[in-house]
Amino acid sequence: MSSRAEWFAEHILPLEPKVRAWLRKAGWTREEVEDLVQETYARLAAAWAGGEVAHPSAYVFATVRNVAADQLRRQRIVSIRSVADISRLNATDGGPDAEARLTAHEELDQLRAAIERLPGQCRAVFVLRKVEGVSQAETAERLGLAQSTVEKHVARGMRMVAAWLTRPDDEAMRPADSSARKGAIRGNR
């Protein structure tokens, strides 16, 4: 019943911070982690068949391990440390699937925080489009913006929300709160 997007939102996205922390601990650089995360999503998407997976956490970590191992093989520079760390990437380290599940209230708080962090106009677009669920076209009309501008805000905001949900500790991805709020007032007068 769930679409690909819903399935990934429910089961994979919540695991991403853990996957990133893990890869960093295994010695991969920040840039390499970005590559590996995209590659992992690509593989999970290719394998996704619309069904439920009994233990998403174990499944995701097994996939990450394979992606990382392939990457090492491709690099042909096999440092002893990397190999040792990869073999330590044990699926059970991911902890029980339950840990990735948020209660409805926690999830709502997290999403609200993500939206609140967006800069002014972008935030207004997200509240209408995602909280109120109106179309992009109607969002443009209500806010008096060109549709192409709304589309740009959606693209930009989605990356910022993604960063907030999956690497909240990454300072570079956080807009300064105060300036964002000032922008909101200016942007809507």
Partner 1 sequence: METADRIEAAAARWLARHDAGPLDEADARAFDDWCAGDPRRLGAFVRLEAVSARLDRAGALAGMPVQARLSWFYPAVGIAAALALAVWPASYAVHDLLKTEHFSTDIGQQYRAALPDGSLVELNTATKVAVELKPDAREVRLPRGEAMFEVAHDAKRPFVVRTKLAEVRATGTVFSVCTDKGLEIAVREGAVEVIREGTLIARVGAGETFTMDKRGQVVAHRANQDDRIARELAWRDGKVAFAGETLAQAADELNRYNREKVEIADAETAAIHVGGYFRATDPEGFARALEKSFPVVAELDGDKVVLRARPSA
What b-and-e string marks burial along 28-60, b requiring 16 or more CB atoms within 10 Å of the CB? beeeebeebbebbbeebeeeeeeeebeebbbbb
Contact 20, 33 (CB under 8 A): yes
Site pattern 63..102 for partner 1 (x: CB under 8 A): ---------------------------------xxx--x-
Least distance from partner 1 to the Cβ atom of residue 185, Å: 7
178 part of the interface to partner 1, by CB under 8 A:
no
Residues in 118-147 that interact with partner 1 by CB under 8 A: 120-121, 123-124, 126-137, 142-144, 147
111 part of the interface to partner 1, by CB under 8 A:
yes
What b-and-e string marks burial along 118-156, b requiring 16 or more CB atoms within 10 Å of the CB? bbbbbbbbbebbbeeeeeeeebbeebebeeeebeebbee
Least distance from partner 1 to the Cβ atom of residue 10, Å: 7
173 part of the interface to partner 1, by CB under 8 A:
no
Given 69, 91, 151, 168, the residue binding partner 1 (CB under 8 A) = 151
Binding window for partner 1 (CB under 8 A); candidates: 19-27, 58-66, 82-90, 108-116: 108-116
Given 49, 77, 80, 104, the residue binding partner 1 (CB under 8 A) = 104
Q: What is the DSSP string of 80-128?
A: HHHHHHHHH--GGGG--GGGG---HHHHHHHHHHHHHTS-HHHHHHHII
Given 5, 77, 80, 172, the residue binding partner 1 (CB under 8 A) = 5
29 part of the interface to partner 1, by CB under 8 A:
no
Given 58, 154, 173, 175, the residue binding partner 1 (CB under 8 A) = 154
Roughly what angle, to the nearest 10 degrees, separates helices 16-25 and 56-75?
A: 40
26's tokens: 């295994």
Least distance from partner 1 to the Cβ atom of residue 80, Å: 25
